[in-house]
Amino acid sequence: MFLIVGLGNPGEKYEKTRHNAGFIVLSKMLENEDWVFNKNGNVEYFKSQVGDELVEYLKPQTFMNESGISVRYAKDKHEVSNDGIVVVYDDIDLPVGKVKISHDRGNGGHNGIRSIEQHLGTSNFTRIRIGISLELEDGKVIKPNVLGIFSKEDLETVKKLSSTVQDIIKTIVTEGREAAMNKFN
């Protein structure tokens, strides 16, 4: 089994913020599905099949800095190994429209990733990082306020990444993390 975790902050106030890129991508990817709320884990989830594997998509309903509580709950409930955890989240070091897969790296100052590391006791899980920063014509990246609202154009760009993220997830689940990194990075 795999847990695919989209990070964000709950509530309408944060819905279109850059920090909610994980929620935005998973919500768009599964927009016609009915998410279920689990009060014990304080998490919305949707179960699906990818290839031969059961996959549970999660959107923690804690605030970002407590995301690890919901991830730990789901990990323990389903007895998922760390290799089965994939976190989709905003990365301020990448420009809007870019996606990068990484594994077992630092949190880069991201409070959601920091919380997951603390609650799992490790950084040994896969990340799908969604770019949220502005890129100038010369390639320089300007880092915005993560709680700032996406422009309409940037929001659409992030939503369009949902098909790429879906392909990445399918590759991770069916062929493995290394295959996904080789194909998409």
Task: Supply the pLDDT for residue 83.
Answer: 92
Report d(CA 178, CA 185) in Å as an integer: 10
Residue 59 confidence class, pLDDT cut points 50, 70, 90: very high
The yes or no reply on domain 2-184 and CATH 3.40.50.1470 is yes
Task: Supply the pLDDT for residue 67.
Answer: 97
Q: Residue 17 gets which letter from DSSP? A: B
Average pLDDT on 4-26 reads 96
Within 10 A of 111 (CB to CB), how many other CB atoms are there? 17
pLDDT at 142 over 90: no
**Cβ pair 46, 180 in contact under 8 A:** no
Assess whether 19 carries a catalytic annotation: yes
Residue 135 confidence class, pLDDT cut points 50, 70, 90: confident
Average pLDDT on 48-76 reads 96
SS3 111: helix
Domain boundaries, the chain: 2-184
Task: Supply the pLDDT for residue 106.
Answer: 86
Catalytic residue among 19, 78, 110, 119: 19
Report d(CA 61, CA 115) in Å as an integer: 14
**Cβ pair 59, 44 in contact under 8 A:** yes
SS3 57: strand
